[in-house]
Chains A and B, each alone.
Chain A
Amino acid sequence: NAGVTQTPKFQVLKTGQSMTLQCAQDMNHEYMSWYRQDPGMGLRLIHYSVGAGITDQGEVPNGYNVSRSTTEDFPLRLLSAAPSQTSVYFCASSHVRRETQYFGPGTRLLVL
């Protein structure tokens, strides 16, 4: 099993550009989530999904969209990038929400 994979590893955007961060898992996990990690702050939940077709907002959802059309994939979309979205983004998954979440390697995003 590859576990949780994320692409790209690193991306530079200009303010106002859009992009999609990809996340995939091959463990047949129902629960998937996106976090951002900023210096001096803990991991903060952006959006999550408890199964295909079901998504919900986390602590910091503004400026981000998600969809879950398959169990395996959970892409995160930045509609109009802003410098405040410069961060490291992690995707995680678990069998169900209650159980241990396993994290991907992260995507480092720089918005100029």
Chain B
Amino acid sequence: EDQVTQSPEALRLQEGESSSLNCSYTVSGLRGLFWYRQDPGKGPEFLFTLYSAGEEKEKERLKATLTKKESFLHITAPKPEDSATYLCAVQAGGGSQGNLIFGKGTKLSVKP
């Protein structure tokens, strides 16, 4: 069964304190891994897509990396406006028929 697990569930950082969020997955035939940001009361906002192990993508203070078993979202020198829930989703072949499987998310709080 395709599965996605995100850790930690919640993370509290001081402004400027760098850290990483983890997304581990068990899927049959990974087609893509997606990171989204979700603010309270809003829909998920697309951040990155990663397709193969070793791939990396960056956007401002965020950097996403991918291995064969997990993905990391690295946050460098975060600011309070980075506070949000970060969602990871995978797209796989097999039973899920190419539809997205989401993790439960990591709620990030950045204090000034």
Interface set of A (CB-CB < 8 Å, partner B): 4, 33, 35, 40-45, 48, 56, 58, 90, 97-98, 100-106
Which of the residues B31, B100, B101, B105 comes within 8 Å of A101, measured between beta carbons? B100
- In the complex, which residue of chain A has the Cβ closest to the Cβ of B103? A42
- In this assembly, does B16 line the interface, its C-beta being within 8 Å of a C-beta of chain A? no
Interface size on B, residues (CB 8 A): 24
Cβ contact within 8 Å between B43 and A48? no
Contact among B4, B32, B43, B104 for A90, CB-based, below 8 A: B43
A57 to B58, CA, bound (A): 35
> Which of A43, A45, A106 makes the CB contact (< 8 A) with B42?
A106
Q: Which residues of B contact A41 (CB under 8 A)?
A: 104
Choose one: B42, B43, B87, B98; the contact of A98 (CB below 8 Å): B98
CA distance A56 to B91 in the complex (A): 17
- B-side residues, CB < 8 A to A, are 4, 31-32, 34, 36, 41-46, 49, 87, 89, 91, 97-105
Partner of B49, one of A43, A58, A90, A100: A100
Q: Which residues of B contact A105 (CB under 8 A)?
A: 42-43
Q: How far is the CA of A40 from the CA of B36 in the complex (A)?
A: 17
| Pick from B42, B98, B103: contact of A97, CB under 8 Å | B98
CA distance A98 to B30 in the complex (A): 11
